[in-house]
A and B are shown apart, each in its own frame.
Chain A
Amino acid sequence: MFPKGTKRKFSDSREEPVAGGEDVNQSSLAAVRMLSSYSLQRQSLLDMSLIKLQLCHMLVEPNLCRSVLIANTVRQIQEEMTQDGTWQIMTQALSAANAAAQCSADRLVATEVLCRQTEAAQGEQVPKPFPVVGSEGCPAEEVLEEEEAAAAEVGMTMSTVSPQAPTSYLPGTFGMDPCWEEEETGEDDDDDEEEDSEECGSGSEGEERERDSLVEDTRTAEQVFGTFEIKNPAPSPDPALEELFSDVDASYYDLDTVLTGMQSVPKMGPYDLLESLSSHGPSPLSSSTSCRSDLNELDHIMEIIVGS
């Protein structure tokens, strides 16, 4: 069988949503269910891909080909989700299930407290990869940039967080307010970044929040199997030991544990309800640009809510 028993059986066949039907109520409900099922699968695939991107930075040196392929897959999914306007459908589906009120309360509470615990948000966030400390311009850094870029190009995600800044990896601080660090560096970079980042300038906070929820995910995972730290450059451990550990591929264990821990009904992202509140939510054919501007506005609304 597979090296690591698949705890969840993925239905590999895609189900295309069926449009319309004679009985409007039944068919629409069925359509929503089928769509949810497909979205669930797609969501799972996205989560899995993001975890893979995260984990691959823990190993000796990431396999660039694999990273690029996974990042392309992530980008593909996010583009499709954006084009589908999946956010709206999910919103409607969940509100139909009468869970909206509770969700919204959670959402507001969650986003009120930045960098604190959040639910596993829907997969638009891209994890900040564990930075491998090294000199600037080295390929490890470049790979990180590429991951950041994959995030940036994606519809909902915000500006590229600067990986060039020596956000050196300090295992202790990882769970503790990285958003504040990023906010500083993000602002610095906004001036220097190219135009597609500039559009998301004020959206850096949003990206932080997205990442915060992922911080929580990783922290949960962290609790499960200890620190993520693999390479501690300062007191360099015995290279011989490093070499031995490099052969150990613990990723399967990690994947399994994390997937189990993270598996949950896809929760609404922090902006789902707000989008429905907002006067112009993204249309199904909206470009990523308009998504970003919408989210800028939502950020603004968020600030007001949080402030009060």
Chain B
Amino acid sequence: LLRSGFRLLRDLNTFRMPCTPKTLQMLILLLFSNTQLNLIIAMLFVTADIISTVEFNHSGELLATGDKGGRVVIFQQELESKNQPLCRGEYNVYSTFQSHEPEFDYLKSLEIEEKINKIRWLPQKNAAQFLLSTNDKTIKLWKISERDKRPEGYNLKEEDGRYRDPTTVTTLRVPVFHPMDLMVEASPRRVFANAHTYHINSISVNSDCETYLSADDLRINLWNLEITDRSFNIVDIKPANMEELTEVITAAEFHPNQCNTFVYSSSKGTIRLCDMRASALCDQHSKLFEEPEDPSNRSFFSEIISSISDVKFSHSGRYMMTRDYLTVKIWDLNMESRPVETYQVHEYLRSKLCSLYENDCIFDKFECCWNGNDSVVMTGSYNNFFRMFDRGYRQDVTLEASRESSKPRSVLKPRKVCTGGKRKKDEISVDSLDFNKKILHTAWHPQDNIIAVATTNNLYIFQDRL
């Protein structure tokens, strides 16, 4: 797999608006009010567009992205057409909508960001598509439906909707559906609010397709997709005395097949697997996955870099993958003592931990993902690099997502970071890495070798055709 190459399919930055209309309004106000804030304005143009989550739906036909401005943009894969064979697999904008707005919590005098933390698709049941999107406090269920025909020929109404004068109605006719330009509508069907005191970091739809969980720093709640005014708390790690707080929940996910099983990871590098059949409150874990610490690598940063930023079950449900700051680990659910595979993402950063702590990069939360058949895992790094690890062939590759290195249709060139003294040609030294360019969010098509990689505010889609 890794010997063949990924090619840039589409650089989707051109489809993204620079900022929401609301932000634009405020910016104009600012420009006229205070010229010293021009720097902030420039930053705002960038920040509103920062991609915060990327997710393929279950068929891979749709790709959803959420950004810091609370918007969701959905891309659709064009169907293969005999006329234009090259167009197969291209993703184009399908729908854009404002999912969350910024809110102000007057009680705490704090603002609630509209940034979309996670998007999860529901399995498709009918013609419409459903997804859950969440910011720090509120989860929303969105229905995305198509309309490609409209009825024409009403008896009582004109085409523009005005009612006809009854005296002019002389015949009886049945409205007929006529095709129209495709219109994609997104409408909020449910709003699940006021259930989280802390910031929501994960949502996960259960395999029963009726329930889902939402996790914040200290609690996990179980919802029914139909019921918005009630949720069940299934995990609560908040200590009675907040002074004793030393650990938070960082991610949670339902098992892909067993609807009673879910896992959650912590800031101390542990993963707990819970069975909802055991008790209503799953504070007691069924399994605890933790790797013993390597004493030779111990430093003041050991705990921080062991904090797990993402946990993902394999499609098979047999394994799960965790991402901490420097590594990706694959765990067999039957073995709690240590992971079965460990992959170094950017071990060369180990000697730079102090600097990375100083500039806060050490707190970056990288995500990870599996390919369709669980043979390859992928995660992001700095300098717009992302890494793939082939579990079967024991190979890994570093690729770069950037305009300069991605000529359309040409294969991505593997990159290499030079750690030693002598830098070879085409290698990049550790000190030259740009830590502002980080790839936190990646997604892999559920069947094909198509990947979506989000840099700070660009989205790249790469495809590998054998």
Measured between beta carbons, the chain A residues less than 8 angstroms from B44 are 244, 247
Count how many chain A residues have C-beta atoms less than 8 Å from C-beta atoms of the other chain.
60
User: B182: CB under 8 A from chain A?
Assistant: no
Known: A6-B355, A160-B243. Is A61-B40 also a contact (CB below 8 A)? no
A30 and B73 alpha carbons, distance in the complex (Å) = 62
Instruction: Decide yes or no whether A166 CB sits under 8 A from chain B.
Output: no
A68 pairs with B435, CB closer than 8 A: no
Residues of B within 8 A of A153 (CB): 243
Total A-B pairs, Cβ < 8 A: 145
A48–B357 touching, CB < 8 Å: yes
CB distance from B94 to the nearest CB of A (A): 28
Contact with A along B181-224 (1 / 0, CB 8 A): 00000000000000001110000000000000000011000000
B69: min CB distance to chain A, Å: 10
CB < 8 Å neighbour of A3 from B199, B351, B359: B359
Name the segment of A118-126, A134-142, A179-187 touching the other chain: A134-142
Contact A2 B267 (CB under 8 A): no
How many residues of B sit at the interface, in one of the four size bands?
35 or more
Least Cβ distance of B79 to chain A in Å?
39
Q: B359 to A248, Cβ gap below 8 A? A: no
B113 adjacent to A244 (CB under 8 Å)? no
Assembly CA distance A146 to B110 (angstroms): 18
Contact A73 B359 (CB under 8 A): no
| Residues in B neighbouring A252, C-beta threshold 8 A | 359
0/1 string, A225-242, CB within 8 A of B gives 1: 000000101001001111
- On chain A, the residues within 8 Å of B48 by CB distance are 247
Q: Using known A-B contacts A48-B357, A140-B110, A247-B47, determine if residue A73 contacts B363 with beta carbons closer than 8 Å.
A: no
Question: Smallest CB–CB gap between A160 and chain B, Å?
Answer: 7
Instruction: Answer yes or no: B247 CB below 8 A from chain A CBs.
Output: yes
Once bound together, how far apart are the Cα atoms of A152 and B244, in whole Å? 10
> A64 and B358: CB pair below 8 A?
no
Cβ contact within 8 Å between B26 and A64: no
Min Cβ gap B305→A in Å is 10
Report if A93 contacts B (CB, 8 A). no
A45 near B354: Cβ-Cβ < 8 Å = yes
- How far in angstroms is the closest Cβ of chain A from B343? 23
Within 8 Å of chain B (Cβ to Cβ): is A95? Answer: no
B117-151 interface bits toward A, Cβ cutoff 8 Å, 1 = contact, 0 = none? 00000000000000000001000000000000000
Task: Let me know if B168 is at the binding interface, CB within 8 A.
Answer: no
Q: Mark B232-247, 1 if CB is under 8 A from A, else 0.
A: 0000000001111111
Answer whether residue A245 sits at the interface, using C-beta atoms and an 8 A cutoff.
Answer: yes
Assess the B30–A244 pair: CB atoms within 8 A. yes
In the A-B complex, the 10 residue pairs with the smallest Cβ-Cβ separation, listed nearest first, are A149-B243, A134-B108, A233-B109, A10-B354, A142-B242, A64-B217, A12-B354, A61-B110, A247-B47, A145-B242
Interface residues of A (CB under 8 A from B): 1-4, 6, 10, 12-14, 41-42, 45, 48, 52, 60-61, 63-66, 68-69, 71-73, 76-77, 132-135, 138-140, 142-143, 145-146, 148-150, 152-153, 160, 231, 233, 236, 239-248, 251-252, 255
B residues near A (Cβ < 8 Å) are: 26, 29-30, 40, 43-44, 47-48, 102, 104, 107-113, 136, 197-199, 217-218, 241-248, 250, 267, 299-301, 303-304, 307, 351-355, 357-361, 363, 431-432, 434-436
